[in-house]
Every structure is written in C-alpha cells, then in structure tokens.
Amino acid sequence: DQNLGGHAYAIQYTTDAPHWGGLSGCTFEEAISWGKEAPESPRVQCFCDATIALPIVASGLIGSGVERARRPSRSPQ
C-alpha cells in the first residue's frame, strides 16, 4: 500500500451527471476517498462534451504561452 497523496489538481469534462450513476460522472469526493485526489487540491468539473470543451481549453493554453513539458528520453545511452 503506497500512499502518494493523490493528484495536485484535477479537471473533469463529462457529459454524465453523477445522479444517473454512470462511472464517467464520478465525483471528486469519491476520488478523494480512494486516494486518487489530494483533499486540498483545486478541482474543476465541466459538464460539457469534450469536443466542445477541449478545443477551448487548448486554445486558452496556447494563447497564454503555456509550454508542454518534455518527456525524458527513453533511448538507451
């Protein structure tokens, strides 16, 4: 059992509401109880189709100058 404290922040785009019982509508409170999210982490839920939400978020990130972190090289040295 390894407790890493959960993610530092969370964003959820979903078309499903939790009251219908669908897994994609899982609440952040459940994720906190499972240890997947840190209790003090900032969280945002957007009840919207991803084909609408993701282009808006990507455009905002590109416009703000946020750069993608580079992955470490996996090639043998």
- pLDDT of 51 over the 70 cut: yes
Instruction: Please provide the DSSP assignment of 35-77 as one string.
Output: TSB-TTS-EEEEES-HHHHHHHHHHHHHHHT--PPPPPP-S--
Tens of pLDDT, residue by residue over 55-64, are 998 899 889 8
Question: Helix, strand or coil for residue 12?
Answer: strand
Half-sphere exposure (Cβ direction) of 67: Cα atoms closer than 13 Å: 3
Q: Indicate the domain borders of the chain.
A: 10-64
Q: What is the pLDDT of residue 52?
A: 93
- pLDDT of 28 over the 90 cut: no
- Whole-model pTM: value is 0.58
Catalytic center residues: 36
Q: What is the pLDDT of residue 36?
A: 84
Q: What is the pLDDT of residue 4?
A: 66
Q: What is the pLDDT of residue 17?
A: 73
